[in-house]
Amino acid sequence: MSGKYKTPLLDELEKGPWPSFVTEIKKAAQSSSMPQMADDELGQLEKSYSTRLGYWKHGGIVGVLGYGGGVIGRYSSLPDEFPGIAHFHTVRLNQPSGFFYTAEALRMVCDIWDKYGSGLTNLHGSTGDLVLLGTTTENLEPLFAEYSSRGWDLGGSGSAMRTPSCCVGMARCEWANIDAMDICNTMTQHFQDELHRPAFPYKFKIKVSGCACDCVAAIARADLSIIGTWKDNIQIDQAEVKKYADAGMDIQAEIVDMCPTSCMSYDNGEIKINDAQCARCMHCISKMTKALKPGKEKGATILVGSKAPIVVGSLLSWVIVPFIECKPPYDELKDLTEKIIEWWDDNAKPRERIGELIEAKGMRPFLEAIGVPPQPQQVKEPRKDPFFFWAESDFKK
């Protein structure tokens, strides 16, 4: 801690039990070979805290040779006052699927970063990357050489495929209907070119969750959301049901009455499920994990289009394919994803996400382009107004 700046406001945020990011900024200066970066970051941040204004310029385009993304250029608007952060770019390292690490691997990441950057990181960025926070333009190439030679690559940024992300899935979860980590890794590898060389109309994100709990928020934060599900019957272990009851669970109130389709009943200590009516929402399974399990015919639901509110309001992803098998090498999934991206790439204006494009064009041209038939699962309810389009092909019937 160099103590270059007085930071009375930020120091307030070192109080209290939750770990303090202010302490982290102060600590970064200890180990980084460029302590002035974290120092000046702290100084500028203190200034922001007193003026209530940020001091960052719009990012310029910086990066590594042959790639168009992976680095977010960032410059202080007060380079004279805070020269240490005149350049303060972030580097997005593509995280391993499921965010698993060994201490050894993480140490190596830290060592390189202390050499070429501020010593500050985000574990992880909202998209999933291991974010390295603050370096200079000239350090980008050596940094990339060091990381890539050791098996690490950059993640996405700009109008490109973004770093796919997933839940912990089969690695540690009994409900995973698909191998979320393998799918995430496979898709990441499959789309390396699209990830590193922005050539899309805008960003395109993929997220994979093993079940409807959606622990990676795929349905809300991915252009392509892959969510595991099953087709057959929930597996019930009645002996375990009894144990839950014995342990004091109010099965009627907590499970049966909360089932959204009312397809369960609880009589004489046994749970019965009318599986044809089950929506596979995961409520009962998640609250009675020892007694109930997803079925055996597993696959994924494919949804498309979610994004943040800019420009036309937030979108959640829409069901496109209710059920698709997901087994390595995932050809069907890759193929579908390629078709989806192709249609979007062919039709979108710059800065138009796929959800916005579908809204603008309607579902039909999209579904026709990717070869998916209309199905009731794609809608909450059918259209309300009597205005609907007919194509020539409809008349031939």
Partner 1 sequence: MSLPERKTDIGPPHYEQFLPPVIKNNYGKWKYHEVLSPGTMVHVAESGDEIYTVRVGSPRLLSTSSIREICDLAEKYCDGYLRFTTRNNIEFLVSDKSKVDPLVAELKEKKYSVGGIGPRVSNIIHTQGWVHCHSACTDASGIVKAIMDELYEYFTEKTLPNKVRIAVACCVNMCGAVHCSDIAVVAVHRKVPVVDDENVAKMCEIPTTVASCPTSAIRPNPKTKSITINEEKCMYCGNCFTVCPPIQIHNPEEDGVAIVVGGKIGSLRTSPKFSKLAIPFFYNDPPRWPKVVDAIKNILNVYAANARKHERVGEWVERVGWEEFFKLTGIEFTFQHIDDFTFMRDTLRTSAAFKF
Positions touching ligand SF4 (CB under 6 A) are 167-169, 173, 175-176, 180, 209-211, 213-215, 259-261, 263-264, 273, 278-285
Q: Give the span between the Cα atoms of 278 and 301, in whole angstroms.
A: 15
In the sheet that holds 71-72, the strands lie side by side as: 71-72, 89-93, 130-135
Does residue 36 interact with partner 1 by CB under 8 A?
no
| Site residues (CB under 8 A) for a copy of itself, limited to 367-386 | 384-386
Q: Give the span between the Cα atoms of 363 and 222, in whole angstroms.
A: 18
- Closest residue to ligand SF4: CB criterion: 210
- In the chain, the amino acid numbered 371 is G
**Count of chain residues binding partner 1 (CB under 8 A):** 173
Q: Is the peptide bond before 309 cis (omega within 30 degrees of 0)?
A: no
Q: Count the neighbouring beta carbons within 10 Å of the beta carbon of residue 296.
A: 11
| Site residues (CB under 8 A) for partner 1, limited to 270-329 | 276-283, 286-287, 289-290, 301, 303, 306, 308-319, 322-323
Closest CA to 222 of 98, 307, 347: 307
- Bridging pattern class, strands 235-236 and 264-267: unpaired
Q: Give the span between the Cα atoms of 28 and 16, in whole angstroms.
A: 20
Binding mask 271-310 for a copy of itself (x = CB under 8 A): --------------------------------------x-
Q: Is the dihedral of CA 346, 352, 356, 362 positive or negative?
A: negative
Closer to ligand SRM by CB, 43 or 70: give it.
70
| Site residues (CB under 6 A) for ligand SRM, limited to 299-318 | 307-308, 310
Does residue 66 interact with partner 1 by CB under 8 A?
yes
Encoded tokens for 198: 């922005």
DSSP states of 21-54: HHHHHHHHHHH-S-HHHHHHHHHHHHHHHHHT--
Q: Which does 273 bind (CB under 5 to 8 A by kind): ligand SF4, partner 1, a copy of itself, none?
A: ligand SF4
Does residue 137 interact with partner 1 by CB under 8 A?
no
Q: Give the span between the Cα atoms of 165 and 167, in whole angstroms.
A: 7
Q: What minimum distance in Å lies between the beta carbon of 313 and a copy of itself?
A: 5
| Site residues (CB under 6 A) for ligand SRM, limited to 163-182 | 163, 167-168, 172-175
**What does the binding site for ligand SRM look like in residue numbers (CB under 6 A)?**
59, 72, 74, 90, 92, 122, 124-129, 131, 155, 163, 167-168, 172-175, 203, 205, 213-215, 217, 221, 286-287, 307-308, 310, 353
